[in-house]
A and B are shown apart, each in its own frame.
Chain A
Amino acid sequence: MKKIRIIILLLLMIWVAGTLIMLFLPYSATAAIIYPWLNLCYSFVCHQNPAKTMSFNGLHLLVCSRCFGIYAGALFSSAVALLIPVTRGRFPFKYFYLALIPMLTDIVLYSLHVYNYSKIIAFFTGLLLGSTGFFYILNGIEEFIAEIKQTKGN
């Protein structure tokens, strides 16, 4: 299962690096060549509204602050998961709901114009959900792999 966790960490690193492609543009022509395709790919999972997206050197990330927070949180948790022993069993779902509440509250409050959209709040609420949600998905992946192994064993 450690191998699976390493593979997931690497895949998440590639995914997060994709959102930060503009940082690689000065150093790699390939980055500029794949930029339009990456831009299209990330558009399926994010609205990419420039007003809600962090930017570096005048170039926007390929996902909004909230999505970036979710992916960064998942990446952080995938690194932490390498340090945690592999155990079977389920996490209580209340932690997921607790992590979801700040994000939903932020969405409702800024949609009702209680306050203006804040990239920092969006990032941190996304980070909380991403880092918590990752462990549930990881648990599911490990259960799926255990099932496959069991089927092969039979």
Chain B
Amino acid sequence: MKKLLPALVCGFAAGVLSIVPIVKSASCCLIIPAAAVFALILKQRSTYSYEKIRASEAVVQGLLTGIFAAVFATIFESLIIFITRNSDITGTLPELERVISSYTAPEMADQMMNMLYKVADDIKNYGFSLFYTLSILFSSLFINSIFGMAGGLLGMQLINNRIEQE
């Protein structure tokens, strides 16, 4: 559990921050890598181990941070959707419709738009769409894991450089 805790804490923080518009607007794609860096620092402090970090350890911490961030971000996003009955997809529907209807065959465009409108209707009526929630979860698991591992490797360089200097 001690190994998981830094990733859990930093993943939770990243999950919260990634749905706060002002923070997201300022930090963009740097939230998850930064969380992975902090997870490594936190792990060192919690275990009182100030030895050099191995790359495999950094990758695992980064991966876990990314996974936890994805899970928490999906939970918070779903909660916000449930409360507000609104989501990003409802805002982007007109642009999606314009793109899809302009560049795909009419039958295909109709099928895709029906699916997207069903998602938007479910969100509006019930505050929840299983398809949208699963899409968010699996897509963010994939993306956040990669960004988390990159952050972990960056954090490893930062910490090991500091140890070498001391």
Q: Are A46 and B160 in contact (CB under 8 A)?
A: no
Q: Taking the nearest CB of chain A, how far is it from the CB of B49, in angstroms? A: 18
Q: Restricting to A123-137, which residues have a CB under 8 Å from any CB of B?
A: 133, 136-137
Q: Are A36 and B154 in contact (CB under 8 A)?
A: no
List of A residues within 8 angstroms of B103 by Cβ: 25-26, 29, 31-32
* Tally of contacts, chain A with chain B, CB under 8 A: 112
List of B residues within 8 angstroms of A47 by Cβ: 21, 24-25, 28
Q: Restricting to A17-61, which residues have a CB under 8 Å from any CB of B?
A: 22, 25-26, 29, 31-33, 35-37, 39-41, 43-47, 49, 52, 59
Q: How far does the alpha carbon of A146 sit from the alpha carbon of B59 in the complex, in Å?
A: 13
Interface string of A135-154 (1 = CB under 8 A from B): 01101110110111000000
Label chain A's interface by main secondary structure: helix
Pick the 8 closest A-B CB pairs, nearest first: A140-B153, A144-B55, A32-B103, A45-B29, A143-B55, A93-B161, A32-B104, A25-B103
Chain B residue at smallest Cβ distance from A103? B30
* Number of chain A interface residues as a range: 35 or more
Q: Are A67 and B116 in contact (CB under 8 A)?
A: no
Q: How far does the alpha carbon of A46 sit from the alpha carbon of B32 in the complex, in Å?
A: 11
Q: Taking the nearest CB of chain B, how far is it from the CB of A14, in angstroms? A: 12
Q: Are A44 and B112 in contact (CB under 8 A)?
A: no
Interface string of B43-68 (1 = CB under 8 A from A): 00000000000111011000000000
Q: Taking the nearest CB of chain A, how far is it from the CB of B84, in angstroms? A: 17
Q: Are A33 and B108 in contact (CB under 8 A)?
A: yes
Q: Taking the nearest CB of chain A, how far is it from the CB of B77, in angstroms? A: 10
B78 within 8 A of A: no
List of B residues within 8 angstroms of A64 by Cβ: 28
